[in-house]
Structures are given as structure tokens and as C-alpha cells.
Chain A
Amino acid sequence: MNPHALTRRCLSAAAALTLSAGALAVAAPGAAAQENDVDTLMIATNQEVDTFNPFKRRFTITYETSMMTYETLVRIGADGYEPVPGLATEWTESEDGLTWTFTIREGSTWSDGEPLTAQDAAYTYNLLIENQAIHDWNIDFAANLVSAEAPDDTTFVLTLAEPAPAEVLYREVYIVPEHVWSTYPDPSADDANRLPLVGSGPFQVTEYETDEFIRLEANEDYWDGAPGFDEVVYDYYVETDAAVAALEAGEVDIVGSGMQGGLNPAQIGALESQGHVTTNDAQGRRYVSLTLNHGTVTQDGTEFGDGHPALKDPVVRTAMHTAIDKQALVDTVLDGSGTPATSLIPSIFEQWHWDGGGELVEFDIDAANRMLDDAGYARGDDGIRTMPGGGEPLRFRFYHHADNTAYATVVEFVTEWWAELGLDIEAEAIEQGTLNDLAYLGEFDIAFSGWGVGPNPTEQLGMHTCAVLPTLTDGSERSSENSYCNPEYDALHEQQKVESDPAARAELVKRQQQLLYEDAPVIWLYYQNVLEAYNHDTVTDMRTQPAEGGMITGQQGFTWSYYTARPSNTEEDGGAPVWVWVAVAAAVVVAAAGAIVFAMRRKQTADERE
């Protein structure tokens, strides 16, 4: 074959490919249309699946698939994150708080048709007690369990070493089927990933293609009624902008916190102009805060790190707090999609949130300046304050995450306000891993932090107790958020853990938050909203959590939204009928064939002319 013929063949191949691409453009939707009798709820995601094993999962995506596939004894409600009946219809706590008795719902079945009984609940809790890997993985809860028994098919009894009412009610222990799991040689290993999963929830994972999609099929025999959709599919998008385009094009139904980082105000703005899209600016569970290095210290009192000495003074910290206009940050940085923060628990958890009770620090730069003047931090010739009695200037390193543009804007505002206090701020954008390393080594003055808070605030509150201070100074123990240690706070923390009365517990939790607020080891800036959007032409009736201004994606304890979602029948199908596609495809194929024939004839005549 001479090179010339080779080129020609390449060209013909390229032409054929191009033409067949055209044919595909019209043929494929027709082919797919045949399958349209299944109602599918499409959710955009970019999160990896770590494991479908509900005891070892760490990621949000597998949290959601666990919530849909399996169920807990007690659900977390959609109205206000309150405990509501799940697989258990009722429960009682003994006087001493050590024995819990649950009544298991009768008539519920596993997705393979087997009946679900109290034996399954006992089997599941016994995995936490006896299976070493599962026990270790859930040590904070499992260590407190003594025994789990099922005296009959509808009664389940859990015995604890110490009272822990909130943990028992809020801890998400997904009940797994004993008749399936007992066949696994090691339930903590990958056997639990075998598809289809057998569960008792509204949808079960049946198919998973890495980074392509996760399919969950509806459990038609679900005890609370079959879900509105036949299946839920998580579809993978690497880039959020592509997911937004897919929502606009009608290829995906919901875009929200399934995409890590979520939607930004600009994307929401673009989606708002779409006729078929509803946007939801929901309250969020996440706070953004500034950690002030008031002195990092180990359990035995060894100080480490190199924080600025001025930050040990509560007056300085309060003055800095007073010089931050949180509302302005919400308005400018978040475009209004957030709430100014008070303390650790976001306002979405109305029950636990401390609203300040009229004693909040008001933004007042003059007042802040007076505080510093009175405390003896005099200004030097350059306007920068120094430590009382002269000496070290108040020059603070301010570290923010390099990948977060919102933080960078916050830094600009805050730096300006603090400059008016006579503080010299050196802001530096740092890659997140390095920032964490420095923060836990205590080698910083001010650093950004942010956490999502759960319906049970114990874990988050626990990060500020003396018990989690590191024992080493090498920064490897990372359980204490900021070396805060206050015996009064710790006493309240122990009390709230064992308090069964929600109202009494709320008082304790609020008092804890107030202490944190007044001591100001951390300045809470704002609670960030969740921005999400869905196609209301295809999906409707999604229940939000909480009921007022709540979210659709990122729900806790039970996926109320996906369970209640129904296809909205506002239009037939959205696309052209199949025959149109077939006709167009045929036309394209004919045109392609014509073009090829023409090209070949031309070649022939060319050959003849030689």
C-alpha cells in the first residue's frame, strides 16, 4: 500500500466517523427512549464510594446510600431533627438509664422478602460489640455497649455501661439482615459490598459502576409505602459546572450537596432564570470560624507551638471579635446565603442553638480600640500596638485555605477591620494539608476552620474538652480543635451527655456554647447555607429537613426528600416522539451513505483520468 492510499483510507475513516457521530446524535436518544417506562430520580454527585458497608463508611455519598438501603431503629425527623419512630415503633429508657427496650415494627420485611425481626437488631448491635474491626471503627459508641438481646421477635433490649440517651437515639446504627450477613466470613470486610444489597429501607443499591453511576431500586414492599420513584441514580460529574449544564438540559434532576463544595451563588443565579428549575437556598449545618492560637498545650500542661503571646489575653480576643461585622461578611462573601454565627451549633438546630440571649458582641471598632487601650496595648510610632509595657508588636500570622476563594474575601475584610485596631496582620494562603499540619503543631496565630455539625452535637462539643488535648507535642493527635480546656465546660459536657430530658439538655448545651463564645478561643463567623436546585418538571413533593427553610440534599438520619419525591406529570416526556428520532436518524444515514458513495466515485474518476 502506498502512503497516499494510506492517507486516503485514514481520511475515509475520519469522514465515516464524523458522519456516524451525526447519526449517533439522533439515533441514541431514540434507543434510550424505549426504556422510559421506569421513573428515575437522577442526582448529580462527584463523591467516590469508599465502601457500602454501613459500619465502615466515611463519605457522605455512602452515608446517603446507607440511609436509603438500611434503616435505624429511631429515625431523625424531618421537622426539626427530632427522634421519631423508624424500625422501632416505641422505646423506653430504664430509670438508671442503662437499659433500653425497643418495640420492633411488625410486618416489615427485607428487600429479599425475608421478615425483619428483633433478632436482626440484636445481631447488628452485637456486631458492634463483638466484631473487633467494627467495634474499633465505632469505638466512641461501641465501647459503652454491654449487651444486645432479642427476647422475642418484636422486643429488642440494649444494655449500656454508662447512661447515654442522646447517643442511643441519634447514633445511626443501620440494622442489617442476619440471614445475609451471618454468611459472611468477616462482616467488617468487603463482603458487605456484594450487590444487590439486602436492606429494609426505601431503596437498595443494586448496581454500581465506579465513577459512572450508582443505582438504587425502590423497595416496593417498604413498610411505610412504596417510594414515588422506581429508582434513584447517582450520576457522576467531575465538574460542578457540567452538572449545572446537565440540570439545565434536563439530564439530571437534582444538583446540591452531592457535589462536594456545592453550588455557588453565581451558579444558583444562572439556574434561577431557567423555567424548569427551582432553586433552594436552605439553612446549612456548617459553620466557618477563626481559630485564635491562645496557647497550644498538652494534657500534662506542656506548652508548644509559637502563637503570639497577646492572643492568650481574652481582652485581645474579644476586641478582635468586636471588630468583625459578621452580617457584612454574610452579605458580601456569601451573597446573603448564610446567617451570622454566634457559637458552635448552627441555627438550623433550633433546639440546641444558642442565640446569644441579647448579650452578643456588637460590631464596634471604637469600643474594640478602647478595650485594647485600657488593657495597655499602646500604639507605636507606626500605629501598630505593642505588648503592654512595650516590646513585641501585635503582628499576627493569618492562615487561610488556598483553595477557598470565599475565605480569601473574608480575609480582606477582617484584615482591614483589624488594621483599624492597630494590629499588623500578615495574611497567607496555604494549601489545606499544610495548614492542618501547622494548626495542630500550634505554629500559627489565626487560622480558618469549619465543620459540619450533626443533629447530636456531642461530637462537636467534645472537640473543646480537656479530655481530647494531645499527649504529644508533634501535632499528630488531632482531636482537640484549639487546645481549649475549661473545667466548667467539661462538667456541663458530662451532664448533657446523660441528660434524658431534651429541654434540660438544651439548657446545658446552650450554656456550653455561651462559655465558648465568651472565652473566644474561636470566633464563629457564619453558618453557611446549602445551595441546591432541582427540575420541578420531573420531580415534586420532596420533603425538606427541617420543615422550615430546610434542605433536600444532605439530609440526616433518613432521606425524607428522596423517599417522598414523586415524578411530576406536568408534561408527557419532554422529548420528541421516537418516530421523529428514527426518521431523522434514517435521513442522516442516507446522507452519510450518499457522501461516501460520492467520495468513492470521485476517486474512481480521478483514477481513470490518470
Chain B
Amino acid sequence: MIDGSTTAGGSSAEDPPAGRPGGPRRGSRHGRVSSGFGWYLFKHAGGAAVSLLLVLFSSFFIFRLIAGDPIDQLTKERPVSPEQREAMRAELGLDRPMWQQFWDYIAGTLTLDLGESFQYRRPIFDLIVERLPATLLLSGTGMVLAVALGFWIGTRSGWKQGSRFDKGQVATGLLLYSAPTFWLGMIVILVFARFLGIFPVNGMRSPSTPPDFWSQAVDIGHHLVLPVLTYTAVVYAGYLMIMRSSILDEIGSDYLTTARAKGLRDDEVRRRHAVPNALLPTVTLVFLALGSVVNGSIVTEAVFSWPGLGSLFVQSIFYPDRPVLQALFVLFSSSTILAVLCAEILYWFIDPRIRRS
């Protein structure tokens, strides 16, 4: 969950989304949405709800396993009297009994009153709302690029399996895929920011930029390049491999032979016939990727000091800022759970075999 690449890994080549068969072939598009859908939806929504509840409960306890007294952190390297400790304890609500803290947490989370951060001393809900756009911008852009790049290369790789292009692309993709994000990010910083000096090292905008819209937009775009580059480089191989194997599934099909027999050029056969069919099984993958847009770039954000949810999470771990960790854990987990649920619902409509069963 910590690393962008691991998140993508959960749904990448080695590990196709669980229980997803090779994908629909020429299934009837007009399959009747019977009362079966109600049950199907209920089953999966119920499962998701149970997962959400488990996440909600476990989040409270997991971060209480991090030992130590939060007051020690708040007063680091500064002696404080017992009275001061008590005052701080009361202010943070740590003097309340555990069951009451638990109840406050559950009720608070459900009403989006997530409490106050230990380190920022501000409502966590505000912190999250403030940082969400930065994360969506970075992960969203990175995800779009990674999917486009992965599918584009994957298609060509699969089509010419065993060629020099295929071998080179797969090797490059997997090399980047397995590179630690942190390390890759530092290399990118050294090359583009330090030696070439054409991109900034950190943050989302520079403090000296004029406040007007265009200056800000250009400045944010300028800062966005390196993190997006790093993020895309790390995750695109997942989509490359899926698309490649999906093409390989199609490549021997009769309809392609038919298409060729009609006299279409190889390029046309690939683009007009093979790709549309190969794309179907990857639709869920893209949907799952949406779930990780919220939490997919934690390490990238930290390396580039990108002021999003990921670096908030890292800062909070170091602190440790328990209420923030709790809230982010719930947010990250539930966005993934909901994305999976959406993918499952979507599957009802695009995979006729599910409707039949």
C-alpha cells in the first residue's frame, strides 16, 4: 500500500484481477438484465460493506499498536511538567476511556468529523480536502499517461511477440517497474533538477510565482513534470504486461485470419480487430487503477515533497499522528474497496457469463 508500484502490482500481469476469466469474446450485448442483478449487486455491495466495517474497526486499533505516548512526541526534547502533560492530554482527548475514544472515532468517521491532527492542530477533514486536489492531479495525470503508454507499447509488443522491440520494451518496463520509487525519484531529481536545472526539485508551486491564474497554472505544470514522470515510469509496466498478454490471447484467433484474408494490412488488422477485443478484459484493470489514484503515489509525493495525501501520510507516520493515520487508512482502503465494487458491477454489464451464472 505504501508504494505506487505495489499498488499497481496488486492488479498487474502476474496477478490478474481475481476470478476474471480471459474476457468476453463475442458475447451478446443485449443480454437481459434480469432480477439476478439485484442479488449480484446485493452480494457484492454487502461484501464491500463488511470490508469497509472491518477497515473502520481495525484502523482504530492498528495505529494504537504504535507504541509510545503521543505527548512524548509533542514535547520532544523539551522538558515539561506533569501538569503540562495533563493539560495536553486533556486537550487531545487522550484522558478519556478507550471505549469512549473508540465511540467518538466511529461516530466521527461516519459523520466526516475526523477529529484534529496532533501535529497540525487542525481538523483532519480540512487537511484532506486541502490536499486531495494535489494528489488527484499527480496520480490522475500519471495514471492516464501510464495507461496510455502501457496499452500502446503493450499492443505493439504483443503483436510482435519475440521481436527486438518486444524484448526491449518488456525489459525496460519491468526494470522500471522493479526500481524502488524512492531511488528512481532521486535519480530523476539529480538529472533534471540538479544537473540540467530545467525542473524544480520540490513542491507544487514556487512561492515567488505571481498569484494570477496563468502564472500559477504554468508553475504547477512545471512542478508536475518530474513527479508524473517518476510515477508513470514505475507503474506503466503493469498495463503494458496486461495489454500484451491480452493481445497474445487474441493473436491466433480465426477472426484475425479472416480479416487478413480480406486483404487488410497488418496494421489495420491489429488496430481495427485485435485491439478492440483485447481492450475488454483491461477495462476492469483501469477501473481498479482509479481506486488507487487516491493512494497510489505515496512515495513519489514524499520524494518530490508534493503536498498531497501521500506526503501527509508519510509525515504522519514519522510523527506519529494517529488520528491522521486512522483517517487516511480508512480513506485509502475504502477508495480501493469502492473501486473494486464498481469494477464488479461493471463486469455484470460487459461479461455475459456472469449474467448467465
Query: Could you tell me which A residues sit within 8 Å of B by CB distance?
Result: 2-4, 7, 10-11, 13-14, 17, 20-21, 24-29, 31-32, 34-36, 38, 40, 46, 48-51, 58, 136-137, 139-140, 207, 209-213, 215, 233, 235-239, 241-243, 245-246, 248-251, 286, 431-434, 436-437, 450-452, 459-460, 462-463, 468, 476-479, 606, 610
**CB-based contact A238/B87 at 8 Å:** no
Are A437 and B194 CB-contacts (below 8 A) given A50-B119, A246-B201?
Answer: no
Report B207-234 CB contacts with A as 1/0, cut-off 8 Å.
Answer: 1111000010011011001001100000
**CB-based contact A4/B69 at 8 Å:** no
By a CB distance below 8 angstroms, the chain B residues around A49 are 120
By a CB distance below 8 angstroms, the chain B residues around A32 are 206, 208-209, 219
**CB-based contact B148/A11 at 8 Å:** yes
Closest to A48 in B: B119
**CB-based contact B305/A35 at 8 Å:** no
Are A13 and B201 CB-contacts (below 8 A) given A28-B219, A48-B315, A140-B81?
Answer: no
By a CB distance below 8 angstroms, the chain A residues around B202 are 235-238, 242-243, 246, 251
Interface centre among A28, A243, A437, A452 (most CB of B within 10 A): A28
**Interface members, chain B 152-200 (any A CB < 8 Å):** 152, 155, 186, 189-190, 193-194, 197-200
**CB-based contact B79/A7 at 8 Å:** no
By a CB distance below 8 angstroms, the chain B residues around A460 are 79
Closest to B276 in A: A3
Give the contacting residue for B311; candidates A26, A58, A140, A211; CB below 8 A. A211
> Is the CB of B82 closer than 8 A to any CB of chain A?
yes
Closest to B70 in A: A433
How far is A173 from B346 in the complex, measured between Cα atoms in Å? 63
**CB-based contact A25/B199 at 8 Å:** yes
How many of chain B's residues have a CB under 8 angstroms from any CB in A? Answer: 79
**CB-based contact A239/B303 at 8 Å:** yes
**Interface members, chain B 301-318 (any A CB < 8 Å):** 301-305, 307, 311-312, 314-315
How far is A207 from B200 in the complex, measured between Cα atoms in Å? 21
**CB-based contact B66/A242 at 8 Å:** no
How far is A332 from B147 in the complex, measured between Cα atoms in Å? 50
By a CB distance below 8 angstroms, the chain A residues around B85 are 477-479
Closest to A15 in B: B148
How far is A213 from B207 in the complex, measured between Cα atoms in Å? 7
The distance from the CB of B236 to the nearest CB of chain A, in whole angstroms, is 11
**CB-based contact A26/B198 at 8 Å:** yes
Are A51 and B121 CB-contacts (below 8 A) given A249-B193, A460-B79?
Answer: yes
By a CB distance below 8 angstroms, the chain A residues around B198 are 25-26, 29
How far is A14 from B229 in the complex, measured between Cα atoms in Å? 12
> Is the CB of B80 closer than 8 A to any CB of chain A?
yes
**CB-based contact B275/A3 at 8 Å:** yes
By a CB distance below 8 angstroms, the chain B residues around A215 are 207
**CB-based contact B82/A433 at 8 Å:** no
**CB-based contact A479/B222 at 8 Å:** no
How far is A237 from B221 in the complex, measured between Cα atoms in Å? 19
**CB-based contact B194/A14 at 8 Å:** no
Report B15-50 CB contacts with A as 1/0, cut-off 8 Å.
Answer: 000000000000000000000000000000000000
The distance from the CB of A24 to the nearest CB of chain B, in whole angstroms, is 5
Closest to A36 in B: B208
Closest to A33 in B: B208
By a CB distance below 8 angstroms, the chain B residues around A477 are 82, 85
**CB-based contact A242/B67 at 8 Å:** no
How far is A323 from B201 in the complex, measured between Cα atoms in Å? 47
> Is the CB of B145 closer than 8 A to any CB of chain A?
yes
**CB-based contact B311/A13 at 8 Å:** no
Question: What are 19 A-B contacts defined by CB distance under 8 Å?
Answer: A4-B276, A13-B148, A21-B228, A24-B218, A31-B209, A31-B215, A31-B218, A58-B78, A210-B131, A211-B312, A212-B203, A236-B203, A238-B301, A238-B314, A242-B305, A251-B201, A459-B78, A476-B69, A610-B268
Report B278-313 CB contacts with A as 1/0, cut-off 8 Å.
Answer: 010000000000000000000001111101000110
The distance from the CB of B149 to the nearest CB of chain A, in whole angstroms, is 6
> Is the CB of B109 closer than 8 A to any CB of chain A?
no
Are A213 and B67 CB-contacts (below 8 A) given A34-B210, A236-B305, A477-B82?
Answer: no
The distance from the CB of A213 to the nearest CB of chain B, in whole angstroms, is 4
Give the contacting residue for B67; candidates A237, A248, A431; CB below 8 A. A431
**CB-based contact A478/B222 at 8 Å:** no
By a CB distance below 8 angstroms, the chain B residues around A451 are 77, 79
How far is A211 from B204 in the complex, measured between Cα atoms in Å? 10
By Cβ-Cβ distance, the 10 closest A-B pairs, closest first, are A433-B68, A28-B222, A434-B67, A246-B201, A433-B67, A10-B148, A14-B148, A3-B276, A25-B198, A213-B207
How far is A249 from B195 in the complex, measured between Cα atoms in Å? 7
**CB-based contact B307/A212 at 8 Å:** yes
Give the contacting residue for A241; candidates B71, B186, B219; CB below 8 A. B186
How far is A432 from B307 in the complex, measured between Cα atoms in Å? 27
**CB-based contact A40/B209 at 8 Å:** no
Give the contacting residue for A433; candidates B72, B147, B205, B314; CB below 8 A. B72
**CB-based contact A50/B121 at 8 Å:** yes
How far is A245 from B192 in the complex, measured between Cα atoms in Å? 11
How far is A238 from B304 in the complex, measured between Cα atoms in Å? 7
The distance from the CB of B192 to the nearest CB of chain A, in whole angstroms, is 8
By a CB distance below 8 angstroms, the chain B residues around A4 are 271-272, 275-276
How far is A207 from B210 in the complex, measured between Cα atoms in Å? 13
By a CB distance below 8 angstroms, the chain A residues around B203 are 212-213, 235-236
How far is A209 from B120 in the complex, measured between Cα atoms in Å? 12
Interface centre among A27, A233, A241 (most CB of B within 10 A): A241
**CB-based contact B68/A434 at 8 Å:** yes
Closest to B141 in A: A17
**CB-based contact A239/B302 at 8 Å:** yes
How far is A3 from B270 in the complex, measured between Cα atoms in Å? 12
Closest to A574 in B: B197
The distance from the CB of B114 to the nearest CB of chain A, in whole angstroms, is 16
The distance from the CB of A449 to the nearest CB of chain B, in whole angstroms, is 11
By a CB distance below 8 angstroms, the chain A residues around B272 are 4
Closest to B79 in A: A459
By a CB distance below 8 angstroms, the chain A residues around B228 are 21
Are A478 and B315 CB-contacts (below 8 A) given A14-B144, A50-B119, A437-B67?
Answer: no
How far is A450 from B221 in the complex, measured between Cα atoms in Å? 43
By a CB distance below 8 angstroms, the chain B residues around A25 are 198-199, 222, 225
The distance from the CB of A595 to the nearest CB of chain B, in whole angstroms, is 16
The distance from the CB of A610 to the nearest CB of chain B, in whole angstroms, is 7
How far is A432 from B77 in the complex, measured between Cα atoms in Å? 13
By a CB distance below 8 angstroms, the chain A residues around B136 are none
By a CB distance below 8 angstroms, the chain A residues around B259 are none
By a CB distance below 8 angstroms, the chain B residues around A606 are 267
Are A212 and B77 CB-contacts (below 8 A) given A24-B222, A249-B197?
Answer: no
By a CB distance below 8 angstroms, the chain B residues around A31 are 209, 215, 218-219
How far is A242 from B315 in the complex, measured between Cα atoms in Å? 15
Report B93-131 CB contacts with A as 1/0, cut-off 8 Å.
Answer: 000000000000000000000000001110000010011
Closest to B283 in A: A3
Closest to A261 in B: B318
By a CB distance below 8 angstroms, the chain B residues around A207 are 207
The distance from the CB of A177 to the nearest CB of chain B, in whole angstroms, is 23
The distance from the CB of A52 to the nearest CB of chain B, in whole angstroms, is 11
How far is A248 from B197 in the complex, measured between Cα atoms in Å? 10
How far is A431 from B141 in the complex, measured between Cα atoms in Å? 37
How far is A554 from B77 in the complex, measured between Cα atoms in Å? 14
How far is A451 from B76 in the complex, measured between Cα atoms in Å? 9
How far is A248 from B189 in the complex, measured between Cα atoms in Å? 11
